[in-house]
Amino acid sequence: MHAVDVELFDAMQVRETEKMDRELFVFVDETTWPAAPGLPAIPASFGTGAQTFDVNIPALLLTIGYLTTPSHASGVSLSEFWAWVRYLHAVADAPDLRLTPAFFELDAHQKTILSDDFGMGAPIYWLMDRLQLGPIADGRYFIDRVAASVGATATKPKKRGPGKSPDFVAQDTSGIWHIIECKGTQTGNGYREQQLGALGPPPTGAIAQKRTITFPPGYSGQRLACGLQIGVQGGAHGSSLRIIDPPGEEKFAVDEDEMIYANDAIIRAASAKSLRLAGFGASSAAMSAPSGATPRSRPTSGRYERMRRETVDDKKARAEDELKNRRDRAAFTADKRRYLGRQMDFDLPAPITVGKSTFRSVRVRYGVSLDFLGELSNHPLVEDPIQEVDGDLAAAKERTTTDEAGKGARMHVGEAFVSEINLRS
């Protein structure tokens, strides 16, 4: 087993002026929420109208890295290793959040990727604290996982346009569910309004996309469409985030006694992301799609059922072997808790200056707690609702948070998962 890394993140003593923070203008359009006593009510934590918000860039980038890692996927996604780290050089040295001219002038394809990444990361980073969010699931994964059992879709999700699944489904620490659609653009406010869309008929843009999942009364929370307009260094306007909650047309309601499958899906989504980031790919696959090749897989009959069982048995064997050898992974301590996962050191292509400090490399760590891995090793593949088989794995439903210091940041999903970025001289 690797030696425990004794560099304690919590011991960093850096002046507040050296934190890599940027100011973001936020506008919460309270006119888009239903008038009282209609639901949902606008949360008091949102405030209303124009406001500013301090964004810690390392924490924002950890959020982007987490969100861009799929809950279920085959193969390797570069985003889960290092792709998001390049954005350290995308943020201009300015008081507010702006891109450097070099990143603002990327080709159209690369600009779209950057806009999408920041367009997801900034709203979720803002919402994690204000809604006390716990687990966060990809909208399409959530629909795929529960559709056959719960029927929590108004339409079959498309990959883009109206009817596309919302970006994220999230549950807060009170057990309330929220639907979140995110948009990002470098083009300007006019295009952002087009992305956010209109009620119609027919509904367009983010407004249409966030309406593809509904929850029963007592479980349903915010139905948000969020648009980030990204400014450039030297430009007339900085970045701004607009939050709206236009009324949605309730096409159906999920029965309360079926919410067991929604809880199963959100636990699996958060756990699978965390396992994948920490390098436990086989365990992640068994968690995200326990009944076959995809989250939609279900028991069938005849030859197809035999093929499905072979797939399940193979996935279980791979996960068992991976968890049996978990002590081979990098070990480290965070917040006095022990984690296993992976650690990567990168030399930056150019130095970064924060306050009076200059940094030339970065360390990124992802880990899953020893306790969570130990519990998972007892049940490496469970086809039934997972919280009914092992309640300890519901630790993945605890609050998702970020902490920041002058030289880095940390992201937690409860005590089960941690990710860190640390700037190094």
So what's the pLDDT on residue 109? 85
Question: Helix H segments across 219-258?
Answer: none
Residue 341: its H or E element? strand 337-354
* Cβ partners under 8 Å of residue 405, min gap 6: 9, 12, 14, 19
So what's the pLDDT on residue 80? 53
So what's the pLDDT on residue 4? 38
So what's the pLDDT on residue 243? 95
Q: Tell me the mean pLDDT per 10 residues along the chain, length 425.
A: 38 52 96 89 95 96 93 65 82 94 88 91 97 95 76 47 74 95 71 52 51 80 93 91 75 69 94 95 96 90 94 97 97 95 92 91 96 94 89 84 89 96 94
So what's the pLDDT on residue 211? 52
> What distance in Å separates the CA atoms of residue 148 and residue 144, rounded to the nearest whole number?
8
So what's the pLDDT on residue 215? 86
So what's the pLDDT on residue 9? 37
Strand bridging mode 337-354 / 330-334: antiparallel
Residue 201, preceding bond cis, omega within 30 degrees?
yes
Secondary structure in 3-state letters for 33-83: CCCCCCCCCCCHHHCCEEEEEEEEHHHHHHHHHHHCCCCCCCCCCHHHCCH
Sign of the torsion formed by the C-alpha atoms of 254, 255, 261 and 264 = positive
So what's the pLDDT on residue 204? 53
So what's the pLDDT on residue 194? 55
So what's the pLDDT on residue 183? 85
So what's the pLDDT on residue 391? 77
Give the closest residue to 88 by CA, choosing from 171, 168, 17, 20: 20
So what's the pLDDT on residue 5? 38
CA 292 to chain centre: 24
